Structure 1
């Protein structure tokens, strides 16, 4: 339980520090780029946790949250009617939290790289919400507090879409190639979200895979964007 307190404190400290340091342009710009590029490590960490699972884990159908469930058994949380046992749940929840932190830190630090427009400021706020949503899902695993875990995760399912649209529009003339890449990732994330909503009607839809496309398309966008911005310096 103490580790989850530390996760919460680190998230608050990370957000506060990012807001306080955002005007130190050259240093924070580089930190923001590295933060977003580091998101590429998420799926490697997830792979480690999946390999350690002591109950069958279906990558295509089970949600990512199952890997952070702290107890073993059937019915570990409200929607889990199947067996879950993830011995590396602490590693997974730390990964969730740190992923959220580097997401919102990168969004705050890299705002200076975009045109100075109102839409960019709104996009930054939305990406901060996206990162916080993901961090909180690690601080409150589904089996420890299902309501907080679920309601905190909901904004992170859709706020990234308008955020990327706003950025894509703002950079259309100054960074046309990156703008096209942005809208491609918007398309992937939007289609994944729509299919997730249709999952109750079509049980054959791979919910776990769709969830990974939903979030992964944004992390892929951030990773590539971080590299592109670094090369432009």
Structure 2
């Protein structure tokens, strides 16, 4: 059984170990499918200049939401969108299964809000996969931006909740969330700055899956302690 600092059983080990492993795998799978799809793109694709969402576009041709328009053609679009949907659902479920682990660091309120935000961000990731850019640009954009906010706010609160029990995880969560939030703010920077969209987006969204993967591994390896 998983035990808290006071010796109480928190979550059965039979749940903690597989849930931690599934969390780690699901968090990383969304990133890996993006990299594979980028390599498979039959139109030139730049991880620095282009958004990850371009890889989920279901048709080939110019995307006009950028200036200048970019040509996209992603043969792996179904895999990208499908994996985002499934991985998001898996992350949400496992975070909820491990909610007591997040809340057992002495700051229960921060932990509770962290769980809600991290799970909500995962569901928004699923929604982004279900609504590609070329299906509904406005809705896709809103879902993605709200998801980025939830991800990084959730990381900051998770870090605050865990800092007393898992200091390294706590510090890296706060650091990742702050970096992600700062990068997210650059989305509204003047176009004259000519900032690379893909780089800004990935700095904002990568701390979430990377930290969740680390948290999942730690949870499984230490049986939640």
Q: Normalising by structure 1, report the TM-score.
A: 0.81
CA contact (8 A) 1:70 1:143 kept: yes
**Unaligned ranges ≥5, structure 2:** 1-9
Structure-1 separation of matches of 2:46 and 2:78: 19
The 1:200–1:103 alpha-carbon spacing in structure 2 relative to 1, beyond 3 Å, is farther
Residue 54 of structure 1: how far off its partner (Å): 1.3
1:120 aligns with 2:111: yes
CA contact (8 A) 1:54 1:87 kept: yes
The 1:176–1:24 alpha-carbon spacing in structure 2 relative to 1, beyond 3 Å, is closer
1:195-228 CA distances to partner (integer Å, 9 max, x unpaired)? 333263411x221022112111111111111112
1:29 aligns with 2:20: no
| Aligned residue runs from structure 1 range 62-73, under 5 A | 62-73=50-61
CA contact (8 A) 1:168 1:183 kept: yes
CA contact (8 A) 2:23 2:90 kept: yes
In terms of mean alpha carbon deviation, does 83-92 or 178-187 score higher?
178-187
Q: Normalising by structure 2, report the TM-score.
A: 0.84
Structure-2 separation of matches of 1:172 and 1:48: 35
| Matching residue within 193, 213, 218 for 1:228 | 218
Q: How many residues align?
A: 209
RMSD, aligned α-carbons: 2.1
Structure-1 separation of matches of 2:17 and 2:139: 33
CA contact (8 A) 1:70 1:86 kept: yes
1:188 aligns with 2:176: no
1:91-112 CA distances to partner (integer Å, 9 max, x unpaired)? 1111221231222122211112
- Alignment-derived partner of residue 145 in structure 1: 136
1:54 aligns with 2:47: no
Residue 135 of structure 1: how far off its partner (Å): 0.6
Structure-1 separation of matches of 2:185 and 2:96: 28
